[in-house]
Structure 1
Amino acid sequence: MEIKINLNGKDIVSTIEPDTLLIDFLRQQGCLSVKRGCDTSNCGLCTVFQDDQPILSCSVLAARAAGHKIVTLEGMQKEAQGFAEFIADQGAEQCGFCNPGMMMNAMALLRENDDPSDEDILNYLAGNLCRCSGYEGQLRGIKNYIAYLKRSGKEDLS
């Protein structure tokens, strides 16, 4: 079957099998930040934005994304670069495997709430599995990034 998707700002037309998962389609398109972890929608490693909302690409058929705008971390390099520096500064990227999904969800949070509490941040990141850290580094990095945005006069990541 043929699908049309706007992927990271570029219109893609592709022929896929009906049972192709979105994660597999995205990786075939070179979006390697989208990672396979659990295949059960529990780890957050495969998080992408569909029409500006975070979704888990391991639990969505690529055919269901047809006609939608899909954004991966590759399509958010400008926003992600500064944010990633704050996460790295806190030592929160020990192995780095969870970072793309964690960053996608953190950026989604900051688009919805530019002044989240610690509890808001931890609740929003609850679906992201990180086996290396206790999430404290990510929490500190996000809080430091929010403080930076406020100091620099930037309102949000949109």
Structure 2
Amino acid sequence: MWFPSFRAWCSAARLSVLAYLGIIVFPFYAWINVLLNVLWLIAVNFQIDTLWLIFLGASIISFIIGFISYIAIKALFRLLLWILWSKPPKWLLPAKSLKVNLHKFTVLTVATLPLAMIFVLTIAAETGIEMIANIEIIKHKDFIANLVMRFFWLWFVSAAYLLHWFPIRQSETAARS
């Protein structure tokens, strides 16, 4: 079956709320760093130096901070549900399982990759691959915000396909409560 199931679309919709509350920023910048590092390696004929390792480390730290913020926002959401309801509906509660949370964050992160690729390829086309090391990402913050919002549909479709191709098994969703 090539088209994502209804369950995958619903899971992508639930994930999009968390992603666009600000979590998408961390994977987006991490992917930008990774992609810029790859382009920079190509530009310098694959000569690895300490600056390259520092940027790669920054990317890994950004992924870790993104996962921590994902868990924190889910915990705040769970707390808000418990404040609003004495016993919230089970379908509305976020998963407690670390494995399920890691799966959802991985889907969120991989679905962000096409957006980062569009940004990096646009910037590389404007500046040239030789100047890729001199790019100041902060200068492009309005362009990044516009790109992330304009291509929400691309992120959403990517997340739905990823959730369709790599579903969570029933035994793992039973551990949600």
| TM-score over 0.5 for the pair | no
More strand by share: 1
Q: TM-score, normalised by structure 2?
A: 0.25
- Higher RCO, 1 vs 2 (CA within 8 Å, ≥6 residues apart): 2
Q: Which has the larger radius of gyration?
A: 2
Q: TM-score, normalised by structure 1?
A: 0.27
More helix by share: 2
